[in-house]
Amino acid sequence: MKKILFVFAALAGSAFAAVEGNAGETFAAYSVLAAVVGLGLAALGGAIGMGNTAAATIAGTARNPGMGGKLMTTMFIALAMIEAQVIYTLVFAIIALYANPFISFFPTLQPPL
C-alpha cells in the first residue's frame, strides 16, 4: 500500500512540475487516470456490497424458507441502491472526461471559437 501511495505522490509531483506548454495535456491525462481509478474503486465496492447482500439473502432464505419472497424483494431494492452509487460514479467520471470544469485553468485546452 505504501508503494502505491508513493507512486501516486510521484505522479502528482510530475503534474505540478509540468512545463507551461504541456500543463494542459498533463492535466487531461490525470483527469483520465482519476476517472478510471475512481470508477474501478466504485465497481469494486459495488461488487463486494452486492456479494454480501446476495449471501445474506441466501442465508436468510435457508434459515426460514417462508420469508424467501420478502427477502428477495428487499435484496433487489438493496441491489438497486448499491448499483446507483456505481452509476453516480460513472456520471462523475464522464463529466471529468468530457466536460471538465477545471479545464478553464488551462487556456491551451480551450476549444477554438
Structural domains in the chain, sorted by start? 45-101 (1.20.20.10)
Average per-residue pLDDT for the chain:
81
Identify the segments of the chain with pLDDT beneath 70. 11-26, 101-113
Cα four-point dihedral sign 23, 13, 42, 104: negative
The whole-number pLDDT of residue 113 equals: 47
- SS3 assignment, position 100: coil
The whole-number pLDDT of residue 29 equals: 74
Count other C-beta atoms under 10 Å from residue 35's C-beta: 20
pTM given for the model: 0.66
The whole-number pLDDT of residue 107 equals: 58
